[in-house]
Structure 1
Amino acid sequence: MILVTGATGLVGSHLTLHLLENNRQVCAIYRSNHSIQKTRAIFALYGKEQLFDQIDWIEADITDVPSLEFAFRNIEYVYHCAACISFDPADEELLRKVNIEGTANVVNFCLEYGIKKLCHVSSIAALGDPKEHETIITEETEWNPEKPHSDYAISKYGAEMEIWRGQQEGLEVVVVNPGVILGPLFWENGSGEIFTRVANGLPFYTKGTTGFTTVKDVVAIMAKLMESDINGERFTIVSKNLSFEEMLQWVASSLGVKPPSIYGQPWTTSISWRLDWLLSLLGKKRKLSRSMAQSLHSHNHFSNERIGFALHYTFTDLKPYIGWLAGLYPKK
């Protein structure tokens, strides 16, 4: 039996479907009945509604130790997809509790119940900081604690430390570090928000660069890694490094709307995150933090050579995939 945490999120829902399509028995954690409906919608999107009823759902929370006791019974393999994603500094405590403490709980239960292997979904945000002479970020790039990092990045780095602790105590583990994950239906958060903002007439673009990938690639690679003899390694999952300008143009073209046309220069975003902070004092949810504003202008290029070499994996072509996603975006 396989346990999936975060089964109601983008990666977890697609992973659960992928596993069931390959005749695996899946136990999935959920926190509310409402969240399960998003997973049901993912299954329906691919015409696999009949597989949804095969999921063994267990109500639990990775930060609530007693609720996990039942979830780990009769489990052999664990995919840890649950995480808190936020770039609002006000969520620092929540990020640490869910991403670090929650992961520590999962690792502890894996050790206690003799789990055969654990796959942890991390992020490129937890990879290292390139030195002045380095231009490509790899799995071996060292994390520099003296460099500025978002609270999210710090929490994901801390979560990985818990995974490596588990490995030192005898647990077999693999870690994946995906770039920005593109996928359907989650239009209110994550990468889906890119489509929503562009569709609503986003005026600004920046020229920073980061890595993008598809949820299809992430779950396929996770499953292959778990079925392999690979242990104690991390893998960057990036289909392509793109500038935010190019990504926004692709999305706008696919949606048939006007692309962002005003270059948001560094001084512009610097003012914007300060204004956003002031508005947060009045109770408004933060949309642009200092670290996020800086990342919009950072030119980060990530290597996917390690996963290509390990699995001989061919990534999905991003441009047609974005076109497919745009076709699913709800019309006004």
Structure 2
Amino acid sequence: MVLVTGGTGLVGAHLLLHLIENGENVRAIYRSENNIQKTKAVFDFYKKTALFEKINWLETDILDIPSLETAFAGITHVYHCAALISFDPKDEEKLRKTNIEGTANMVNFSLAYKIQKFCFVSSIAALGDLAPHEKEITEETDWNPEKHHSDYAISKYGAEMEVWRAQQEGLDVIIVNPGVILGPLSKNKIFDQGSAEIYKKVADGLRFYTLGSTGFITVTDVVKITFQLMKSDIKNERFTLIAANIVFKEILNTVADTLKVKRPSIHAKPFFMHFLWMADWLFSTLFFRRRSITKATAKASYSKNLYSNEKIKTALGTVFSDVYLYIKSTADN
């Protein structure tokens, strides 16, 4: 049997569907009964509602060690997708506890229960930092601790260190580092994080765009490739998963055109983004509200990072989905 953490998130829900479609017996852990409905909504979206009943759900938490004893019973393979995603500096302790300590618990149990193969869904945020002579970020790019990283990036990097530690202790592992993961452009608002936030902001009349760029990939490609890696003889490797490096403006325009709303028309230059995060910090401090834009997210909006996907293409012969066509084809308007 296969164990999936984070099965109520975007990647985890799609992974559960993909696993069941490919004949796997799956157990998924959850913390809240309400969150399970998000996963069911994904199955409903793809008209696979009957398959949802095949999931063996278990209420537990990756930080709750006693309950994980039950979760690992009879498990042979693990897909660890659960993570806290936040760029609010106030969540630093929660990020470290969930993403690092939680991952440490998962790999420790995997070692104890002699799991055959363990997959960790990380992020391109945990990849290295370009040296002056380098142009593309690859799996071999060194992490520079002297450079500024978001708390989220640090927590995912720390989680990877736990996975590699377990690998040295005998656990066969795979790490995947997806870029920005695009889910279905659904009006049903299946999820409220990640690409769903981008879609909602554009639908609500987002006026600003930036010319930064990063790697993008569809959620269906992420789960398909991850499954292929777990079924292959490949082990103890990490792979960057991006379909293409794309300018944020182009993604926003595609979403706007698909939703038939006005495109963002005002270029938010770096100095403007700097002003926004400073203002947001002030308001959040004065009115005790969560941050909506931070120094890390502001910098990311105009940074032009280039990521290489050559390693996964060489390993599996991967042909990625066109993200523009994916956005248009999944819109249910």
Instruction: Quote the residue 1:200 is aligned against.
Output: 204
Aligned to 1:135: 135
CA distance in 1, matches of 2:204, 2:329: 19
- Please give the alpha-carbon distance, in whole angstroms, between the structure 2 residues aligned to 1:161 and 1:211: 23
Q: Does the 8 Å CA contact 1:77/1:117 hold for their aligned counterparts?
A: yes
Secondary structure of the corresponding residue to residue 268 of structure 1? helix
> What TM-score comes out, normalization by structure 2 length?
0.97
- Partner residue, 2:34: 34
Which among 278, 282, 291 is matched to residue 286 of structure 1? 291
Could you say if the C-alpha distance between residues 266 and 120 of structure 1 is closer, same or farther in structure 2, counting changes exceeding 3 Å? same
Q: C-alpha separation between the residues in 1 aligned to 2:191 and 2:326?
A: 15
Q: Which residue of 1 aligns with 2:219?
A: 215
Query: Pairwise CA RMSD of aligned residues?
Result: 0.9
2: distance between equivalents of 1:257 and 1:93? 39
Please name the residue that 1:175 is paired with: 175
TM superposition outliers: structure 1 runs of 4+ over 6 Å: none
Partner of 1:315: 320
Point out the more displaced range, 283-292 or 172-181. 283-292
The amino acid of 2:281's aligned partner reads W
Distance 2:46 2:269 in 1: 41
Q: Distance in 1 between matches of 2:29 and 2:82?
A: 9
- Identity over aligned pairs, percent: 59
State the SS of the aligned residue for 1:13. helix
In structure 1, what is the Cα distance between the partners aligned to 2:195 and 2:67?
Answer: 30
For residues 149-193 of structure 1, give each alpha carbon's deviation from its aligned partner in whole angstroms, at most 9, with x where no partner exists: 000000000000000001000000000000000012445211111
Structure 2 partner of 1:299: 304
Give deviations 1:241-266, integer Å, cap 9, x for gaps.
Answer: 10111111111111111111111111
Q: What are the superposed Cα offsets for residues 280-332 of structure 1, whole Å, 9 maximum, x if unpaired? A: 1112210110111111111101111100000011100111111123x237xxx
Q: How does 1:78-117 map to 2 (within 5 A)?
A: 78-117=78-117
Amino acid at match of 2:321: T
Q: Decide whether the 8 Å contact of 2:76 with 2:116 is kept in 1.
A: yes
CA distance in 2, matches of 1:235, 1:194: 25
Aligned equivalent of 1:232: 236
The one-character-per-residue Cα deviations of 1:211-240 (angstroms, maximum 9, x if unpaired) are 000000000001000001111100000001
8 Å CA contact 2:87, 2:297 repeated in 1: yes
Kept in 2, the 8 Å contact 1:187–1:196? The answer is no
In the other structure, the counterpart of 1:62 is 62
Task: Please say if residues 42 and 190 of structure 2, whose CA atoms lie closer than 8 Å, have aligned partners that are also in contact.
Answer: no
Distance 1:36 1:187, change over 3 A: closer
Q: How many residues in Structure 1 have an aligned counterpart in Structure 2?
A: 328
Corresponding position of 2:265 = 261
In the alignment, structure 1 residue 12 sits paired with structure 2 residue 8: no
One-letter amino acid of the counterpart of residue 10, structure 2: L
Please state how far the C-alpha of 1:2 moved relative to its aligned partner: 0.3
Paired residue secondary structure (2:44) = helix
Q: Which runs of 5+ in 2 are unaligned?
A: none
